[in-house]
Chain A
Amino acid sequence: MAQRPVSHVPLPVLAVLIGALGLQISLKLAHPVTPPAASDLRPPASQSSLRLASLGDPIPLAKLLMLYLQSFDYQAVNRIRFQDLNYDTVQQWLLRILWLDPKGQYPLLAASRLYADVPNDAKARAMLEFVYQQFLLDPDRRWPWLAHAAAIAKHRLKDLPLAKRYASAIQKHATGPNVPLWAKQMEIFIREDMNELETARIMIGGFLSSGTIRDPGEIRFLDQRLRDIEARLKSQR
C-alpha cells in the first residue's frame, strides 16, 4: 500500500520532529562520552557469574571482556598511563578471560606487549611473571609471549638471569613441532651474553648432534657461533 505524500503531514508535526531532532543532537554533542579512568577498573565478576552470563558459549564473552579491558586507559601512543592501572585487577581480568577462552592468545599478547612494556619495573616484572605462570599451563601455544617476555627482561630490564629463566622454560617445556628453533635456542644466546660459554657450547653441540636442525643456513650459523664460543673460551684460558 503506497504511503501518502509528505504534504499530508501537518506542519506542526514536521516542525516538532525537526526541532526535537535538533535538540537531541545538541544534547548529545554537549555531553560527549568520556573514556573511563584507570581507577574505574573494578575487579571482574566471579567465575560462576561469568559462566552464567556466557549462556553456555564462553568464547564470545571472553572476546567482549578483552575489548572491554582494552578500552580501559588505552590511549593510542600514550603507554605511560598503563602503569596507573591496578595490576592485580588487570591480572584478575586476564585470568578470567583465559579461563573463559584458554586457547585465546589476546590476553597474553596484551600482558607481554602492552602491560609489561611500561616504565615501572615492579609492574613490568609482575606482568612478566604472570605471562610465565600462564605459559606453563599451555607451553606449545603460549611460547611466543614468554619469548617476548624474555626479550623485555633482557633488553629493557637488563635482567639476564630473568631472561635466561624464561628462555630456559621455553627450551624445556615448549617441545611441540610448531615451536621454531630460534625460540628453543634463545637460552644459548642469553647464556653467551652472561658469559656462560661452556654451557652455551654444550647446548649448541647438542642441537647440532641431535639432528633436529636440517636447514643448511641454520647449521652454518650455529657452527660459526660454536667456533666463536670455542675461540672465546680458548682466549679466556
Chain B
Amino acid sequence: MIRLHFIATLAGTTVLEAVRNRLFWLAAIVVGVALGLAQFLNQVAITESLEIQVALLAALLRVAAVFIVATFIITSMVREANDKVTELMLSQPAPRSSYFLGKFAGYALVAVSLALAFALPLALFTPTAGLMAWAASLVCELLIVTSVSLFCVISLTQVLSAFAATAGFYFLSRSMAAMQVIAGASLTSEHTFADTAINWIVDAIALLLPSLDRMTRTDWLVNAGPGMDETLGLLVQSAIYVVLIASAALFDLHRKNY
C-alpha cells in the first residue's frame, strides 16, 4: 500500500513538473504551427491536397511528439540528479523499483496525453478508423521512447549522451528494415565473408530493436487502417519492448552506487 502510494505520488509530481514546464503549451503551439503549415500546403498543392496535408501534418506531429517526450524525460531526470532529488527519493523507505515505476508512470501519462493531443487535429482531415489506429500506435511508440529515454538517462546520466543515444535508437529502429533489405541486396552472386558478416551483424542488431517502421504509419490515414492482426501484433511488440527496456533500466538502476 505504501509502495503504491509512493509510486502514485511520484507519478503525480512528474505530471505536475510537465505542466509547470509548460510542456502542454508547447504541444499546443506545435499543433497550431502544424495546422498552419498544413493550410499553407493546401493552398499551394495542385492535386491530392488533402493527402499532402494529412501526410505532412502526421509526420511532423509524430516527430515532434517523440522529440518533446525524449527531451522532457532526459532533462527532467538530469535536473533531478543534479539537484540531489534522486538521492533524496532513493533514501525513502521504498525499493528502487518503486522509484523507477513512479517516474515511468508519470512520464507515460505525459506521453499518452501528448499522443492523444497530437492525434486530435488530424480528426479534421481523416476518417475515424485509421485515425484511431494511428493514435493508438503513437501512444505505443511514445511509450517505447519513454522507456528508452529513461534507460539512456539512467545509464549515461548526461543530457547530450542520453539524447544522442535515444535519437540513434529511434532512427535506427525506423530504418532497420530498409537496412536489412539493402544489406541483403548484393550486386553479385558471390557472397564474401565480409558480406555474410555484415548481414549477420545487421540481422543481430535488428533482433534487439522494435519494428518502429511498422508503427504510426501515414498510409493508415490516407489509405486504409491496419487489420486486427497487425494492430494486435503492434500492441504485443510494444508491450514486450517496454517491459524489456524498463527491466534493463531497473537492472542498471539497482547496480548504481549513489
Contact = CB atoms under 8 A, between A and B. Distances in A.
A24 B182 contact: no
Interface residues of A, number: 32
Contact of B250 (A4, A6, A13, A27): A13
Contacts of B8: none
B192 interface: no
B222 interface: no
A10 B96 CA distance: 10
Nearest to A78: B189
B159 interface: no
Contacts of A5: 255
B257 interface: yes
Contact of A20 (B185, B186, B187, B244): B244
Given A68-B182, A70-B187, A24 B244 contact: yes
Contacts of A6: 255
Nearest to B236: A27
**Chain B residues touching A, range:** 20 to 34
Contact of A1 (B182, B184, B257): B257
A17 B254 CA distance: 13
B111 to A, nearest CB: 20
A161 interface: no
Contact of A2 (B233, B241, B248, B257): B257
A16 B243 CA distance: 8
Nearest to B176: A33
Interface in B2-43: none
Interface of A: 1-6, 8-10, 13-14, 16-17, 20-21, 23-25, 27-29, 31, 33, 35-36, 67-68, 70-71, 74, 76-77
6 contacts: A2-B257, A20-B241, A20-B244, A67-B182, A67-B185, A68-B182
